[in-house]
A and B are shown apart, each in its own frame.
Chain A
Amino acid sequence: MARSKRNQAREAMSTTKKTGMTRRRWLKLSTAASAAALAGTGPGAWRALAADQKNPAPPAVEKKYSSCDMCFNKCGLVARVEKGKVAKLGPNPHFLKSRGMLCARGNAGIMQLYDPDRLKYPLLRKGARGEGKWQRINWDQALDLAAAKLKEIGEKYTRCGTVFMAGTDTQSTFVHRFAEVYGSYNVISHESNCLLSRNRAFLDTFGVVPIPDTLNCRYIIMPGANRFEALVTPDSIDIVTALQNGAKLVVLDPRYTKTAALASEWHAIRPGTDMAFFLAVANVLITEGLYDKEFVAKRTHGFKRLAEHVRQYTPQWAAAQCDIPAIDIIRIARELAQAAPAAMVYPGRRSSDYVDSTQIRRSMAIVNALIGNWDQAGGLTLPQKIKTGTIPYEAPFYDSNPEDRVDAGRAKMMFPEEGSFKYTRDAVIEGKPYPVKGFFTYKTNPMQTGANQAKTVEMISQLDFMITVDIAMSDTAWMADLVLPAPTYLEREDPVSSFQGSSACSGMVMRDPVVPAMYQSRPVFWIIKELAGRLGLEEHFDFTIADFRAAQLKDLPQVTTALKEQGVYNLTGPVHGVHKNKPFRTRSTKVELYNDRYKENGVSPLPVYRARPRVPQDRFRMVVGRNAYISQSSSTNNALLAQLEDENTLWINPEPAARLGITSGQMLRVASPAGAVELKARVTQEIRPDTVYMDTGFGPLSTWLKNIYGKGACLSRVLKDEADEVSGNMAMHETLVTVEKVRS
C-alpha cells in the first residue's frame, strides 16, 4: 500500500515536472480541483468511522486523527478511542511524509497521556530551589503571581530582563508572540543546542537550508547523522527504500549505530575530523576534474579560491587525520561523482558538536555544490513549505529596553531571533551586559539538554522568578518557582502546522483534542492569553485557536477539507527542476563556495581545517547521539519506552576496558571539567577505543519521573559547554572525559 502511494506520488510529480510547475503554482491551480474532488468522493472508508449524526451519544469506538508530538516530526496518527479513553495510537495511512507509518515512540504516545507522573495542577515552590517541595495553588493564584512577577521584573530590569525559551511545539509560536509584545528580545529555542550551525552553514552557502531528496538518491555519504535511529520522516524510511533500489550508503561515525549496521559501508572516523574528509573529497573532485563543471562555472562563486585552498588537503593527509585510508577517500569521492547528481553528502540535523561546527558543515555543503546535485532528483532541493496566513500584530516598543539581546556579539554571526542558549546562560550568570532575572520555559528541558548542567543551575540560581509550563516534572520544571501543567498533544486544539516532507510532499496538519484535557492542565496558549490580559497586552491575543486557524487557512480552503477528511493535507508537486536558473538568495546570487560576508565578519571565507590532537590514552572523547526510542529527555520516563530502556550505560571499547579492568555492568565514574556522573559500563566493539557514548535523558534530579529516577546518569552533567564560533551553537563533542571503576 505504501509502495502504491509512493508510485502515485511519483506519477503526480512526473506529470507536473513536465509542465515545470512549482508546488506553489500547483497549489494555486489545484485549489478548486481538490476541493471539488474531496467534496465529491468524501472520506470513503473513514466515513464509517464518523459519529452518527442522528445519535449524539459518542459511539463505543471512535477513530480520530491527530499528529504525533513524541518528537519534532509531527507524523499523522489515528487514535482509537474506546468509551472516551484512548486505547491505541496507529499511523494515519494518508500521511505521506511518514510514508503512512508511526514509530515506536509514536505508538508509546498513549503513555504520555496516561502517565501517572504528569503534572496535574499549578505548583509553587516551597523549599529551596531543586529541593522538590511544592505547594498546590489554583490557576488564579498562579496566573496572578506570574503576571505580577513579569511586571515587577520588567519594571526593575526592563522587559529584556526575562528570557523566554520554548521547545519545538506548535504552540511555541504564541510564546514567541507573547515575548515580543511583552518586550523581551531574549528568546531562545532548543535549536542552539541542536542544529543551528548546520542551518548557518547551508544558508550561507546555498541561501536556503536545502531539503535532501534521499528517496531518489543513488549515493549517500552520511557523516555523523544516525538516520535509522534519530528518525526524520521521510528520510529514515526513504533511505531504506533507496538502499533496496540499489543506492549506496556510506556512514562516517565513531559509533556502530543502527544506521552504520545497515549501511553499505561504515568508517569509524576519528571524531572531529569530518572536515578533513570532505576537504580531501573536494581535493579529489577538483584534482581529477570530477566536479560538475557546468554547474560550478555558472552557479557557484569562488571556485578558483576553493581549488587553491583544498590543494593542501590531500587524501593522504586526510587519512592520517580521519583514520580512513586514502584509497577509500579517493574511491568514495570518485563514486560520489559517478553517481552525481543523484548523490549527496547528507546534511543531517544536530550539529552541536565542535567549536568549528559551522565550518565543518560548510565543507559538506561545498562538496554538494561541487557535484552539482542542486535541484536534481536525488540531490539537495529547494524548501517549499506551504505558506499560511496569520493574525498580524504590532508589538509595542519599549524605549527603556537595552539595545540588543543579552547574548549579542558573543559569536561572530548569530541569528538575532534565535540567539544562543550557551551564551545567554553565560550572560545571565555574569549579569552582563545587563541583569536578567526572569525565565519562562515551555516544553523544553535545558537542564538535561544544555551541556554543563552545573552552569544551568548557576544561571537559575541568579533568577528572581522562573516559570515552567510542561507536561511532566522535568529537571527544568524541578528548578522553577512556578510550575504550570500543560496538556499533551492528544488533548489539545492546535494551530495548523506546515511541513515539508522531501520528495513525499509538502503538507499541513493540525490537532483537535482526541480526548478532553485531563486534570487541571491548560494549554500554553490559554496561559499566555491570561497573562497578556493581566499585563494589559490582551489586544495582541484577541482571538481563539479557531480564529487563528481560520486566518492561517484563509486562502487555502482545500486544506481545511483535507484536514477534516484525511487528517492531513498533502501537496505532491515536483521537488526538483523547480529552481532552475533562478538566482540563489546569496549576495553573489550563486552558491557561495567562498563567502565574502564571512571574511567581513572575521570568519574564514573557506573552511580551514583545525587539527585536533589525538585523545590522550587516559581520556576519551564523549560523543552525543540517539536511539530510536528516545526523544532526548522528554520520552525516557514513558512507561512503554522505559520497558525498552530505563537506564543508560557508557559505551566503551573492549581495548580500553581491558586496560582499565572494566567489564559490562560495572559501575563507572565518568568525569570532565564540567562534572562527574556514575553509570554502568557497556563494553562493546560498537565504538572506537578513543570515544565513549551515553544516551541522553536519564539520571534525572526530579524524583517525580519515577520510571527513570535513580537510573543511569545525566549526560549534560558531564558535557563541557563550548560553542561554535560562528553561530553560538553548543559544541558538546569538545568534551574529554576520564573513566574509572567506582570502588565500592
Chain B
Amino acid sequence: MIKTVFAMALAALLLLASLGPALSEGNWRKGKYLYRKNCRTCHSAKGPAKDLSPSTYKQAKWAELFNQNKIPCKPKWPKITDKDLADIYAYLHGHAADSPSPAKCK
C-alpha cells in the first residue's frame, strides 16, 4: 500500500516536473480569451484548420502537444510569451475531454 502511494506521488511529481513551472501555472480564463482571439481564427468550424476545442483531446494529448513542442502550426505563430502559452495550455488541458470540466469552445 505504502509502495503504491509512493509510486503514485512520484508519478504525480514527475508529471508536474515534466510540464514545467510555466505550463502548470497558467490562468485558464485568460487562456480562453487568448485561444479564441488567436487560435480560433483557424481552428474553428469555418476556419482552414481542424476545429479544436479543449474537449477535442484528452489531457495527456494536450500535455504531449504543448510539453513536447509537437504543435504542428506553432512555427507559423507570431511570437508568443511563455505566460500566454501557459494560459492557453491551462484552458485546453484544464477543460480536456477527460478533465473534471470538459468544454467546447463557442
The 5 closest A-B pairs by CB, nearest first: A397-B33, A585-B97, A587-B98, A394-B36, A415-B101
CA distance A586 to B55 in the complex (A): 11
Q: Is A413 an interface residue (CB 8 A)?
A: yes
**Is B37 a contact of A394 with CB atoms below 8 Å?**
yes
**Is A392 a contact of B101 with CB atoms below 8 Å?**
no
Query: Which of A204, A393, A596, A599 contacts B100 (CB under 8 A)?
Result: A204
**Is A395 a contact of B36 with CB atoms below 8 Å?**
yes
Using A395-B33, A395-B36 as known contacts, say yes or no to A207 and B98 having CB atoms under 8 A apart: yes
CA distance A396 to B32 in the complex (A): 10
**Is A185 a contact of B36 with CB atoms below 8 Å?**
no
Q: Is B24 an interface residue (CB 8 A)?
A: no
Using A392-B40, A395-B36 as known contacts, say yes or no to A417 and B103 having CB atoms under 8 A apart: yes
Smallest Cβ-Cβ distance to B106: which chain A residue: A390
Determine the chain B residues whose CB is within 8 A of the CB of A390 once the complex forms.
106
A-B contact pairs, 18 of them (CB 8 A): A185-B29, A207-B98, A392-B44, A392-B106, A395-B33, A395-B36, A396-B33, A397-B29, A397-B34, A415-B101, A416-B28, A417-B101, A585-B58, A587-B59, A587-B98, A589-B98, A599-B8, A600-B12
Determine the chain B residues whose CB is within 8 A of the CB of A589 once the complex forms.
98
Q: Is A403 an interface residue (CB 8 A)?
A: yes
Smallest Cβ-Cβ distance to A418: which chain B residue: B101
Restricting to A544-581, which residues have a CB under 8 Å from any CB of B?
none
- How many A residues, CB 8 Å from partner? 27
Min CB distance A583 to B, Å, is: 9
Q: Is A710 an interface residue (CB 8 A)?
A: no
CA distance A404 to B27 in the complex (A): 9
**Interface bits B25-58 vs A (CB < 8 Å: 1, else 0):** 0011110011011001000110000000000001
CA distance A401 to B59 in the complex (A): 27
Determine the chain B residues whose CB is within 8 A of the CB of A587 once the complex forms.
58-60, 98
Determine the chain B residues whose CB is within 8 A of the CB of A416 once the complex forms.
28, 101
CA distance A417 to B40 in the complex (A): 20
Determine the chain A residues whose CB is within 8 A of the CB of B30 once the complex forms.
397
Determine the chain A residues whose CB is within 8 A of the CB of B40 once the complex forms.
392, 394
**Is B98 a contact of A585 with CB atoms below 8 Å?**
yes
Q: Is A433 an interface residue (CB 8 A)?
A: no
Smallest Cβ-Cβ distance to B38: which chain A residue: A394
CA distance A277 to B57 in the complex (A): 37
Interface residues in chain A, defined as those with a beta carbon under 8 Å from any beta carbon in chain B:
185, 203-204, 207, 389-390, 392-397, 401, 403-404, 413, 415-417, 585-587, 589, 596-597, 599-600
Determine the chain A residues whose CB is within 8 A of the CB of B59 once the complex forms.
587
Using A394-B36, A417-B103 as known contacts, say yes or no to A404 and B29 having CB atoms under 8 A apart: yes
**Is A586 a contact of B103 with CB atoms below 8 Å?**
no
**Is A403 a contact of B27 with CB atoms below 8 Å?**
yes
Restricting to B78-106, which residues have a CB under 8 Å from any CB of A?
97-98, 100-103, 106
CA distance A210 to B72 in the complex (A): 35
Min CB distance A361 to B, Å, is: 15
CA distance A416 to B101 in the complex (A): 7
CA distance A596 to B8 in the complex (A): 9
Min CB distance B60 to A, Å, is: 8
Determine the chain A residues whose CB is within 8 A of the CB of B37 once the complex forms.
394
Smallest Cβ-Cβ distance to A727: which chain B residue: B100
Query: Which of B8, B28, B36, B98 contacts A586 (CB under 8 A)?
Result: B98
Which of A413, A587, A600 is the most central at the interface, judged by chain B CB atoms within 10 Å of its CB?
A587
Min CB distance B84 to A, Å, is: 11
Determine the chain A residues whose CB is within 8 A of the CB of B103 once the complex forms.
417
Smallest Cβ-Cβ distance to A592: which chain B residue: B98
Using A390-B106, A395-B33 as known contacts, say yes or no to A413 and B44 having CB atoms under 8 A apart: no
Smallest Cβ-Cβ distance to A403: which chain B residue: B27
CA distance A393 to B44 in the complex (A): 12
Determine the chain B residues whose CB is within 8 A of the CB of A392 once the complex forms.
40, 44, 106
Smallest Cβ-Cβ distance to B29: which chain A residue: A185
Min CB distance B13 to A, Å, is: 12
A392-B40, A404-B29, A587-B98 known, 18 other contacts, Cβ within 8 Å = A185-B29, A203-B102, A204-B100, A207-B97, A207-B98, A389-B45, A392-B44, A392-B106, A395-B36, A397-B30, A397-B33, A397-B34, A401-B29, A403-B27, A416-B28, A585-B98, A585-B102, A599-B8
Min CB distance A117 to B, Å, is: 37
Smallest Cβ-Cβ distance to A176: which chain B residue: B106
Min CB distance A699 to B, Å, is: 37
CA distance A415 to B102 in the complex (A): 9
Smallest Cβ-Cβ distance to B60: which chain A residue: A587
CA distance A203 to B27 in the complex (A): 24
Determine the chain B residues whose CB is within 8 A of the CB of A404 once the complex forms.
29
**Is A393 a contact of B106 with CB atoms below 8 Å?**
yes
Min CB distance A435 to B, Å, is: 19
Determine the chain A residues whose CB is within 8 A of the CB of B58 once the complex forms.
585, 587
Determine the chain A residues whose CB is within 8 A of the CB of B102 once the complex forms.
203, 585
Min CB distance B48 to A, Å, is: 15
Smallest Cβ-Cβ distance to A596: which chain B residue: B8
